Amino acid sequence: MVALLEAERLPTVELADHLANVVVAVRDGRVAGCGGLETYKGCDAGLVRSMVVEEALRGTGVGARILAWVEERARSVGLRRVFLFTVNARDFYARHGYRAVTLDDFPTCARGSAQYRAVRRFGREWGVAAMAKEL
């Protein structure tokens, strides 16, 4: 999973802290896609994270199934909103009901995450977009 994320230059920071909320797609005995949810104590919002599908499987519905699992996981733990960061998948997320938001739209409880802090600092130069969805 880490190798797949790193190959796409996606962050793996704090990933180990959220493995209970991660799903993987396996093809030929190896991880071919994954996605996860970062949650925060006492918060009704979470962060969709570590979403990637190997290039050969893009457009096949694997990513949509992973995202559906992540959103269902969010609902099952009582979240009402999910946020995410993306560089190259804006259209994918928009097709699944996500809308562009600003960093100021993130709830205070999510602003301590490593991803949020990195995007706050470097997001513009990296071309990062923030998006959110009401569940």
Q: Is the pTM of this model over 0.85?
A: yes
pLDDT per residue over 82-110, tens digit each?
Answer: 999 999 999 999 999 999 999 999 999 99
- Give residue limits of the domains in the chain: 2-134
d(CA 85, CA 56): 23
In a structure prediction context, what are the per-residue pLDDT tens digits for the chain, which is 135 residues long? 999 998 888 888 889 889 999 999 999 998 999 999 999 999 999 999 999 999 888 999 999 999 999 999 999 999 999 999 999 999 999 999 999 999 999 999 999 899 999 999 998 888 999 999 999
Q: Which residues lie across from 86 on neighbouring strands?
A: 129
d(CA 35, CA 71): 10
Backbone angles phi, psi at 72, to 5 degrees: -65, -40
CATH, domain range 2-134: 3.40.630.30
